[in-house]
Structure 1
C-alpha cells in the first residue's frame, strides 16, 4: 500500500492490538506487581518549578545599584527632563 508508512500505523496493526478482549480487574487486591515495585516508596518532587520567565542569576554589586538612568536634555544639558519638555529655551513658532 504505502512503502514509506510503518506497519504499526496501518489499520491491520490496530485490529491486531485489540483482538484480545481486555477485562478490567475488579479489585485492587487482584493486581499482581513485583516485590521490588511494591517495596519502593515514591516521594513527591523536592521543589516546585516556578511559573514564568526565570530570574537573572547574576547578583549586582553595590555600586551597580546606585547608578540610575536619568533623562538629560540635549538643548540645555540639565537632567530630569528631555528635549521635548524643556522650558529653558522658548520655542520658536
Structure 2
C-alpha cells in the first residue's frame, strides 16, 4: 500500500498487483475446495439418509465468507480500504 501522496513506482505497482492477484487466487482455490469437499460430504450424508453435512457446510462457509471479506473488502490495496485511508489522510491534514 502506498501511504504517501507520491505516485507509486512501477516496482511498487507490480508488487501490489502480485500481492492482490495472489490473495484472490488463494480465495478462489479455497472456494473450489469448499465446493468439492462439501459436495462429497453431502453425497455421503444424504446416501445414509442424514443431514449432518449442513454443519460443516455452514461452519466452513462462514470461514470462506470471512476469507472473502479479507481479500475483496479489506485486503491490501482494496478500493474500499484505500478510500478510507484517503479520507483519514484528509481529516488528519485538516487537523482533525
TM-score, structure 2 as length reference: 0.23
Higher helix share: 2
Task: Give the structure, 1 or 2, with the largest relative contact order (CA under 8 Å, sep 6 or more).
Answer: 2
Which structure has the larger Rg over C-alpha atoms? 1
